[in-house]
Structure 1
Amino acid sequence: MFIGAQISLYPMTDDFVSVITSSLEALGPWRDQLRMETDDISTLLVGAPEVLFPALRDLYTAAASTRHHIVLRCTLSRGCPGEADDRICATKALSAPDTPLANRQSAALKAVSAAQQKGEIARAQFSLYVMGDGDHMEEIYGCIDFLKQSGCFDRTKNFCTRIKGDAGPVFATIEQAFCRFGPPEGHVTMDLTVSANSPSVTD
């Protein structure tokens, strides 16, 4: 399987270069477990979900700790039929094909409850796209039900769901949504935006 994320980090400051470069240092502990490709638009991270999402969490947390308004944009994909399998993506994080939806929701909630606090607030919105055969809406509604019980749920919006809280549980929630819903060998994608320190926050 191929699992990866195209990411871009946008700091709202004249000193954006140093914010980006210093934040990328947070990926250091994960580099030997990820394949990384960077150009002038984005960085591709390829690897298993149990590595990929903690790496994204740590990148976000480092950027948020600068106290500048930052936005992290990600397009995530697993099982794309147009990508060759990559051994670095080998994982046991995806649910078994015959696992009932209720069991997957329960496992997802357990994983979120065990997430470590990181001390930075994350406000995120994302959309989950389940492709291929099967009942797509059953999986998506099942994911939304999980989100509402996760402790991070904020509200539904047009085309997406918003969550917020400490970065640890928030990124754990996103990881579980990506891994537990949709066929484990099927093509699933996610569009994700995470924001920190926005001057427009009122809650």
Structure 2
Amino acid sequence: MFAGAQVSLYPMTDGFVSVILSSLKALDPWRDQLRIETDDISTLMVGPPEVLFPALRDLFVQAAGTGEHVVLRCTLSRGCPGEPDDPICQTSSLANPDEPIAARQQKALMAIADPVETGERADAQFSLYLMGAGDHMLEIMGCIDFLKQSGTFDRSKNFCTRLTGDAGPVFATLQQAFCQFGAPNGHVTIDLTVSANSPSLR
């Protein structure tokens, strides 16, 4: 399997360079478990979901901790048929497709029962896309039902779902949405935007 993310940080400040560079240092503890490549547009992070999401959380928290209004934009993908399998992506965290959705929802809720608290608020919106055969809407609606019980659900919007709360629970919830819905050998993607310190909330 191939799993990873293309992520970009957008700080709304004249000092955007220092915010981006200092935030990227938060990925240093994860570099032995992920393949990380940064260019002038985005940072590619390749690895298993149980490593990928905590690393994304730490990147976001580092940026949010500056107090500046920052936005993280990210496209996550697993199982893309156009990418070769990568041994670094081996994982046992993906759902068993033979399990009913209700069982997977409960497993996801158990996984986020005691999340890391970071002290930084995250306001996120995301869309889950399941490609390939199968009943996509059944899986997506099952995911939305899980989100409504997650403690981070804010509201449904056109084309996406909004989550709000401490960054720890928010990114833990996103990880379970990515892992528990859709076939483990299928192509699943998430389109994600996360904001911190927005002046609109003051």
Give the match's secondary structure for 2:201: coil
- How many equivalent residue pairs? 202
Give the match's secondary structure for 1:200: helix
Distance 2:63 2:176 in 1: 23
Q: How does 1:112-151 map to 2 (within 5 A)?
A: 112-151=112-151
Distance 2:198 2:119 in 1: 16
**CA offsets, 1:73-104, max 9 Å, x none?**
00000000000000000001101121111111
Calculate percent identity across the aligned residue pairs. Answer: 73
Runs of 4 or more, structure 1, over 3 Å off, are: none
Identify the residue that residue 180 of structure 1 maps to in structure 2: 180
Distance 2:111 2:75 in 1: 22
Between 75-84 and 105-114, the greater mean CA deviation after superposition: 105-114
For structure 2, the residue ranges without an aligned partner over 5 or more in a row are none
**CA offsets, 1:104-124, max 9 Å, x none?**
100111111121111100000
Identify the residue that residue 84 of structure 2 maps to in structure 1: 84
Please give the root-mean-square deviation of Cα atoms over the aligned residues, in Å.
Answer: 0.7
Q: Say if 2:97 and 2:182, in contact at 8 Å, map to a contact too.
A: no
For structure 1, the residue ranges without an aligned partner over 5 or more in a row are none
Distance 1:33 1:178 in 2: 19
Give the match's secondary structure for 1:161: strand
Give the match's secondary structure for 1:32: coil
Identify the residue that residue 162 of structure 2 maps to in structure 1: 162
Q: Say if 2:129 and 2:188, in contact at 8 Å, map to a contact too.
A: yes
Distance 1:113 1:72 in 2: 25
Q: How does 1:13-24 map to 2 (within 5 A)?
A: 13-24=13-24
Q: How does 1:50-89 map to 2 (within 5 A)?
A: 50-89=50-89
TM-score with structure 2 setting the length: 0.99
**CA offsets, 1:20-76, max 9 Å, x none?**
111111111101100011111111000000100000000000000000000000000
Give the match's secondary structure for 2:147: helix
Identify the residue that residue 93 of structure 2 maps to in structure 1: 93
